[in-house]
Chains A and B, each alone.
Chain A
Amino acid sequence: MSTRKSLITSNLRVLTGLVLITWLILPLIPLAIWSFARGWFFPDLLPKTWSLNAWNYALSDTAGVLDSLWLTIGISLAATVLSILVGVPAGRALGMYKFKGKEIVELMILAPTIVPGIAVVLGIHSVFIFVGLNNTVPGVILVHLVPTLPYMVLVMSGIFANYDASFEAQARSLGASALKTFWYVTLPAIMPGIIVGGLFAFLVSWSQYILTLLIGGGRVVTLPLLLFNFATSGRNDITGAIGMIYILPGIIILLLTARHLSGRSGAVGGFGQI
């Protein structure tokens, strides 16, 4: 009886996994085919003429995709690290403590996910011009924190809401320093949250368009800027080639962190009060 039940659940799990993978992979197949096609017309199931033109262009100096790939990775990683540095203490405060005006702080942190970026970016632009951060990579990294921080703080406050601080007190009473306590007690407990929040932050930063364009002033050319040029002009072949390059880092990071993302880890333990 019980073995039958577990057989059903494990079959279900495999099925769900297959559906999810199909869902994620299927839309990418036409994109991959397009990148090698020279014309692909209805009702042909596959392109009649194959070509490397799109890849030749995507990998050329004129397109600048490869330079842009490294720059985009650097910007997204920096935005992720800064998000973690700000998001962990903020999440701890929101998840573990009650204080006056907490609701307002929570609302302010969530605001960037509600208010569209275009509404605030013109104001940010003039502030950044004033402090000399426009057209610079640090400026772009900073402005990416606006959309990435809400995700990081949300995930971390959920983690800290289910976190028992008395473990830290025990470690301290056994003679561990504050640093050691953080390193051996706090960090392992919140690691799944840092990974999930960091992944969110990376992907959100990775896909920014209008913030990068305006604050970067066209000097900081990230991959979405190049990709959208061709996506909006209907060039499916070049969009396919740049798109393939564009999704690579996301997939690699997803694979590296996959074991922390399973349902059994603490990171999906609910989002606490927020």
Chain B
Amino acid sequence: MRHLLITTLMASTFAMSSHAAFADTADGDSLIGKPWEEITAAAKGGEVNWFLWGGSDSINQYVSEYIGGILKDKYDITLNRVGLSDTVEGVNIVLGEKEAGVTDKGSVDMIWINGENFRTMKQGGLAFCGYTETLPNNALVNWDNPAIANDFGVPVDGCEVPWSKAQFAFAYDTARTENPPRSIAELIEWVKANPGQFTYPAPPDFNGSVFVRHVFYHAAGGAENLLGPFDQAKYDEVSAKTWQILNDMEPYLWREGKTYPASIAALEQLYANSEVDLTFNYEPAGVGLNIENGTFPPTTQGYGLTDGTIGNTNYTIIPFNSPNKAAALVLQNVLLSGEAQAQKALPDVWGTQPAIEVDRTSDDVQAVFASIKKHPAVVDPKELAKNSLPELQASWISAIEKGWLDNVGK
């Protein structure tokens, strides 16, 4: 016991002293526009603490082993991957530090982020902004694409860097279901014809919320009427129709709609246990990973909707008080590189879609991308992208989530 106590004490003194052992690059503005060699030199020998959702062994291995390996070998930077159960936990740490007046010794150097969490960080002044031009691999990013330049309708304004693209897709078990519904209109009929075989996670769950937005788009007769800032009259009209559809559907849901799964993981478990026939996810590549790790039956097949599915981009952000901004910039640059984006797109690594323009990368990287064979169960991203719907602004999304709780989930 005494031995353990000593170990603990040693570990703690180490944790405290390691803080001051290398160059501090908390002053981000002084890094903006500097030659890249100077930034990598300032980052050398340091560390970077990246907070990201840690619930996938495949993603963890890609980050710790592949990305961590490049950082160590090429730049002498130690990557400390901090696993989160929910991204908001990382945002709360930065928020708490800002309130306590910690402006240059924060504990978070980078967060994998998008949507509402990005809005919180941008509006709260928690993000380091205006540096994206400094990254050499920024040239691979198409900032003219509104789906990249806006994160759930909030302009990025150089406060984060894209990492991957995702687009909502359904999945079903070919051994159990012959003809899954291929549009929201079909789904509404299908649920009534197949009582107990469908449900969705209760918003504000990320995936449950995007499913409700698909019904919302359907009720509005298309997404184009809903773009732009929040419109109360429009919302009142469309939401009344949406709650009507969802409330009519409720008695035909799993367990007569008396309860909803609390998370996407719970829905995926229901699907895996044959309790419901359909599942869905904002990350369509997850079907492939879940078949390979045994979570889903191998006869699972992903598919898109004929009336389109919502797509989004996810990003990495550097908090304003990160003390290791140079190392975080190097990490972001590595993540954007064609090689790292191609590795991430391999179906047995992750299978997610790149956030960069593939035709701007080197010939070698383009050859890798061209040779990638998608997992047979994952819906073809090019087919999926043909019917891509935009995300709404965050103010719409929070109104819909609240409305669902008051009118459907009550």
Residues in chain A within 8 A of chain B (CB atoms): 37-42, 49, 51, 53, 57, 61-63, 70-71, 73-75, 77-78, 81, 122, 125-126, 129-130, 134-138, 141, 213-214, 217-221, 225-226, 228-230, 232-238
Contacts and interface: CB of A to CB of B under 8 A. Distances in A.
B1 A77 contact: yes
B178 interface: no
A53 B65 contact: no
Contact of A233 (B8, B51, B265): B265
Interface stretch (B100-108, B301-309, B343-351): B100-108
Contact of A51 (B49, B275, B294): B294
Nearest to B96: A125
Contact of B273 (A41, A74, A214): A41
A118 to B, nearest CB: 10
Interface of B: 1, 4-5, 7-8, 11-12, 15-16, 19, 49, 51, 53-57, 60-61, 64-65, 80, 82-86, 89-90, 92-93, 96-97, 99-102, 107-108, 263, 265-266, 268-269, 272-275, 293-298
Nearest to B56: A233
A234 B265 contact: yes
Nearest to A233: B55
Contacts of B19: 135
Contacts of B297: 39, 41
B273 A42 contact: yes
22 contacts: A38-B294, A40-B294, A57-B57, A74-B5, A74-B8, A75-B8, A77-B4, A81-B1, A137-B11, A137-B12, A218-B84, A218-B108, A219-B107, A220-B15, A221-B82, A228-B85, A229-B55, A230-B54, A232-B55, A233-B265, A236-B295, A238-B57
Contacts of A38: 293-294
A77 B19 CA distance: 25
B97 A129 contact: yes
Contact of A122 (B7, B96, B272): B96
Residue of A49, A230, A232 contacting most chain B CB atoms (<10 Å): A232
Contacts of B16: 136
B133 to A, nearest CB: 29
Closest 10 pairs (CB-CB, A-B): A233-B55, A234-B265, A39-B294, A217-B107, A74-B8, A137-B12, A218-B82, A126-B100, A229-B54, A38-B294
Contacts of A138: 12
